[in-house]
Structure 1
Amino acid sequence: MPGTDDRDLAARAASGDQDAFRAIFRTHVKPVYWIAHGILGSPADAEDVTQETFVVAWRRLPGLELVNDSLLPWLATICRFQAANRLRVLRRDRRNTADAVDETVADTVSVEDQVITATLAERIATEVNLLDDVDRKIFALCAVEGYSYQAAAEQLGISHAVVRNRLSRVRTRLRGAAGEVRDA
Structure 2
Amino acid sequence: MATLQKSIDKRNALIKATIELVNNNGFHATPMSKIAKMAKVSPATIYLYFENKQDLVNQTYIEVKAAYTAYAFATYHLNMPVEEGFETIWKRIADFKLKDCENAMFLAQCDNTPMIDEPSRQEGIKHLEPLLELWARGKKEGIIKPISDYLLYAYAINPLSFLMMSAKRSAFTLDKTHMEEAYRAAWNSIRVIK
Superposition TM-score, scaled by structure 2 size: 0.33
